[in-house]
Structure 1
Amino acid sequence: MVSTSSPSGGAEVGQRVVHRRYVPYSHAHYAGNLVDGAYSLGLFGDVATEMCILTDGDEGLFASYSDVQFKQPVRAGDVLEIACEVTRVGRRSRTLDFTVHVVARGAATETEPGAARVLEEPLLATTATGVVVVP
């Protein structure tokens, strides 16, 4: 554990962690290569774990999610940007806001099976608020 004199570890409101991830076709479960919403929640767990390690020297544990919203589809072949921001710091808890943006999308055709494009404007796909606890 990180040694610190602060009762809230090293966590500060406004701290951010950002990951990027390609969505493999093996995760498509529905027509149109759609990926289930649980995929985004798993990615939120990854950025939350990194945040807890950076701020408190421990992986932490998820206590809850609230206000999960699926705003745009996530598809196999997408490149996602997953972000986590500290919005509240308690003695042993951290409230985090999460977003998933689609920054690139597969555009495969029969003649170009590997085609993809970077989106001019990222699409906000999923949002949530979560609470983690740390020792």
Structure 2
Amino acid sequence: MDKEFSLTSRVSFKDIHYDGKVVAGAHVLELFGDAITGLALMNDNDEGLLSKWENVNFYQKVNPGDFLKVYARIVSSSRLKRNVEVNAWRVTGLKEYNGNNDLVADAKGTFVIPFVKAKGV
């Protein structure tokens, strides 16, 4: 079973939500959802259904023009549930920042898959 998925996205100026050209944290959560969907498709051939978020943390503001790399990783699973950790990092060009100062957000979540798509785990 593949257990990791990543995506990279450029934050658009149309994503500005707050004064001062700051992007809403909900945009990062949407990217987290996209990464989890990709992970579910890769592992279970189904988009799955996100059932909960927990421990959502925002460390830095996100601005238009930022490139974010989002990683989703299955940390545990049962027949119908997948527990995941996701995080978003700011990247510049082809060089990724590796220090904690560039971690934008992280969270834990759970998604479920339909019984008919479940693989034995």
- The interval holding the TM-score normalised by the smaller chain is 0.7 to 0.9
Q: 1:120 to 1:49 in 2, by over 3 A?
A: closer
Residue 132 of structure 1 is matched in structure 2 by 111
Matching of residue 59 in structure 1 with residue 63 in structure 2: no
**If you compute each CA radius of gyration, which structure gives the higher value, 1 or 2?**
1
Q: 1:119 to 1:90 in 2, by over 3 A?
A: same
Q: 1:59 to 1:75 in 2, by over 3 A?
A: same
Q: Distance in 2 between matches of 1:64 and 1:38?
A: 15
Query: Counting helix residues as a fraction of each chain, which structure ranks higher?
Result: 2
Q: Distance in 1 between matches of 2:108 and 2:87?
A: 9
TM-score, reference length from structure 1: 0.77
SS in 2 for 1:32: coil
1:121 Cα deviation (Å)? Answer: 2.6
C-alpha RMSD of the superposition: 1.7
1:77-126 CA-partner distances (Å, limit 9, x unpaired): 1000011000011110000100011113xxxxxxxxxxxx7777351001
| Long gaps (5+) in structure 2 | 115-121
Number of equivalent positions: 111
Residue 118 of structure 2 is matched in structure 1 by none
Matching of residue 101 in structure 1 with residue 89 in structure 2: yes
Residue 73 of structure 2 is matched in structure 1 by 85
Residue 121 of structure 1 is matched in structure 2 by 97
| Long gaps (5+) in structure 1 | 1-9, 105-116
Q: Among all aligned residue pairs of Structure 1 and Structure 2, give the percentage whose two residues are the same amino acid.
A: 31
Q: Distance in 2 between matches of 1:18 and 1:36?
A: 21
